[in-house]
Each structure stands twice: as structure tokens, then as C-alpha cells.
Amino acid sequence: MTGNAYTNDLKHKEDELAIQYLPAVKAMAYRLKERLPSSVDFSDLSAIGTEELIKLARRYDEALNDSFWGYAKKRVYGAMLDYLRSLDILSRASRKLVKAIDYIVEEHLLTHDEEPTDLELAELLDESVEKVHDARIASTIYTVMPLHDQLHIGDEGAALAQVEKDQLVDVIKTILSAYKEREQMIIQLYYFEELTLKEISDILDITESRISQIHKSVIQKIKESIGA
């Protein structure tokens, strides 16, 4: 076999390997999309994942990794998260607006079964409905990010960057232990099982608004515990 023929044959095998796992990439993109607002397009996530899959297939060495999908899965998902990060959706101004919205929503839920509408929030904050809507979308996108990303968002980022990873893990464990079992289950299902708010709501018989509220409460308590 000539050099060119060998190279073409190798490339063909690598592309076949990528094609074999395309359904898995699409399923991953679909699951992630279920947890995101409608403004994020499934086809964009799928395309990013597919591009990364092809790159990984072309440099995969089965002598070093006996499972291609085991090798590629985390990297493909990471590429999708990198795409979401690249959207740069939280400016300094919108971070402040997100915090203000979170405060009002939390107060509202004390006496109501559902969150206030964008229009109600806009009137209370003296902001346009469009700005409130965009800020809530940005906040929703960041809730699918790993805890590490969420903790480094905002003006607290510099303080959090000084915290050792092991220390942060201990802080998270301590905080979660103070919550009731059902609230701990929410964090487990959302971050580790990667279920949607609706799926968690159906399992635990608790409103999606309450689940979102508990999630934000955990993030805030972690930040407070390490002095951010």
C-alpha cells in the first residue's frame, strides 16, 4: 500500500469511528438543550459537538485508550460548554441585574407559588422588559455550567480563585449537609444526574421555581462561606 493510500485508509477509519458515535453526540446535545432557554439552538450545540468528535477521532490512539467514547465523551461535552461560555452573556451590568432579579424572585416566592413575570420584574426594577428577559436567559444558561464556573462568575471571582480545590469541596459538603435530604437530592439530580428542572419537579413533587430557588441559595451560601 502506498503512503497516500495508507493515509486515506486511516482517515477513512477515523471518520467511520466518528460517524459511529454521532447519535451519542446528538443525544448529548439534546439533553443539554433541554436544560437551556429557547434562545440557544440545538443545531449549534450538535455542530460544535460533532466538530470536536471528528477532531478527537483523528487523533485517537486505541493503544492508549481502549474506549473511544470513554475518551471522547467528556471532551465533547466540554466543547459544548466552551461554546456557551463564548457567548459572553453576563456583562457587569447584567450581573447586577441578575442579582436584583434573584432577590425579588426569592421574596415573591415566599408568598406565591410561582415566579413573577418579566413584566412584573421590569416594573419593580424600573428596567425594560427586554433587559429583564435577557438577564434571566443569561442566568438560566449559567445554571447548566459546572459549579466551578458558577462560583467564579461576578465580582467575587478573584476571591474564589484563591481557594484551593480541596477546600472548596469541603465547603460544599458542609453546606449541603445543612440542607434537608430533599434539597440535597435536588443538587444531586441537577448536577450529577443532569436532569431538567421539570424532570426533578416530577420526581420530587416540587415546583420548578422552588428548585431554582434552592439551587441559587446553595451557590450563594458557598460564596458566603469562603468570604467572597
Using alpha carbons, select from 97, 114, 78 the residue that is nearest to residue 209: 114
SS3 per residue for 146-209: CHHHHHCCCCCHHHHHCCCHHHHHHHHHHHHHCCCHHHHHHHHHHHHCCCCHHHHHHHHCCCHH
Closest to 116 (Cα-Cα) out of 209, 218, 216 = 209
Q: Over its length of 228 residues, how does the chain's per-residue pLDDT go in tens digits?
A: 444 543 444 456 677 888 899 999 999 999 999 888 877 889 999 999 999 999 999 888 877 777 889 889 999 999 998 898 887 666 666 778 888 888 888 888 888 878 889 999 999 999 999 989 888 887 777 777 776 666 655 544 545 555 566 676 777 788 888 888 888 888 888 877 888 888 999 998 888 888 887 887 877 777 777 665
pTM, two decimals, is 0.64
What are the Cα distances from residue 71, in Å, to 17, 21, 22, 56, 66? 13, 12, 15, 9, 8
Distance CA 107, CA 206 (A): 18
User: Cell 485508550, residue?
Assistant: 65
Cβ 115 vs Cβ 108: under 8 Å: yes
C-beta separation of 9 from 1 below 8 A: yes
